[in-house]
Amino acid sequence: MAPTDCISANLSRIRSAMEAACQRSGRAADAARLVAVTKYAAMEWVKILTTLGQWALGESRPQQLAARAGEFSANGVSSVEWHMIGHLQRNKVDLVVPVCTLIHSVDSVRLARRISQIATRQQRTVPILFEVNVSGESSKDGFAPEGLQAAWDDLIRLPGLEIRGLMTMAPRVDNPEQARPYFAQLRELRDGLAARLEDECPLPELSMGMSGDFEVAIEEGATIVRIGSSLFAGLSQESAAGAPG
Ligand SMILES: *Cc1c(COP(=O)(O)O)cnc(C)c1O
């Protein structure tokens, strides 16, 4: 199958499954949005996604995000939304802030302070999510739930940040049902933190769910799912950008 047909078929299948999961949980069919994770995708595949109307793209490496954002804008394409989903070092914040729609992976107070500093300097407001390590696995980045609760009053005072919600990665499990409690915990944590804010619609976003577990995540309230491998299933790995790792 040609790459366009393959990606198009994968995308339709994923979008239908997302809609079905929204409806099963009594939400509007478009209550969850897809961020296509392109960290291992060849640029050719990324362009195909945009021609299919998939404009929200996620990258985990700041350099690749900045380079690809630069390539699209050099070609006069300004509709792409870039989502930073991977660990962000403080010395790379400058690189992503000007081109990023949403930083999902703010995983420490020090990083939040750095983004706030750059945002203030560049006279911007930067939309962010706080990444939470709900499962407590040592291999994962993110705030411990209690750590985020403890730092909350300081975090919400940082200028230049628009705190949109929370993000998590569930542990790798055999059956997606096993990931459900982690998604529910992120939602409960969000509800508790939102109650401490006076905004009209505080912390609207829950970024959770990947190829293996996005349907369960949507049932538990995800508003953004981040999907990579199943979008590109069936395509030859040889033409992908950089092997995993
Ligand atoms: C790679 C990645 C994804 C996508 O994972 P798939 O299993 O390929 O869908 C989602 N979120 C983050 C943070 C990632 O690094």
Per-residue model confidence (pLDDT) at position 119: 97
Q: Whose CA is nearest to atom 6 of ligand 1?
A: 228
pLDDT band at 239 (very low <50, low <70, confident <90, very high): low
SS3 state at 19:
helix
Query: Could you give the CA distance from residue 140 to residue 169 in angstroms, rounded to a whole number?
Result: 8
Is the model's pLDDT at 157 over the cut of 70?
A: yes
Q: Could you report the per-residue pLDDT of 158-189, keeping only the tens digit for each?
A: 999 999 999 999 999 999 999 999 999 999 99
Query: Could you give the CA distance from residue 208 to residue 85 in angstroms, rounded to a whole number?
Result: 11
pLDDT band at 199 (very low <50, low <70, confident <90, very high): confident
Is the model's pLDDT at 120 over the cut of 80?
A: yes
Residues 6+ apart with CB under 8 A from 22: 28, 29, 30, 31, 32, 218
Query: Could you give the CA distance from residue 211 to residue 153 in angstroms, rounded to a whole number?
Result: 34
- Ligand 1 atom at minimal distance to the Cα of residue 211: 9
Interval 51-66 mean pLDDT: 98
Percentage of the chain modeled with pLDDT above 70? 96
Q: Whose CA is nearest to atom 13 of ligand 1?
A: 85
Number of residues that this document lists for the chain: 245
What is the pLDDT of the chain when averaged over all its residues? Answer: 95
Q: How many CA atoms lie within 13 A of 111 on its CB side?
A: 23
Using alpha carbons, select from 16, 118, 127, 125 the residue that is nearest to residue 82: 127
Cross-strand partners of 69: none
- Ligand 1 atom at minimal distance to the Cα of residue 214: 9
Per-residue model confidence (pLDDT) at position 245: 37
pLDDT band at 240 (very low <50, low <70, confident <90, very high): low
Is the model's pLDDT at 241 over the cut of 80?
A: no
Read off the pTM.
Answer: 0.96
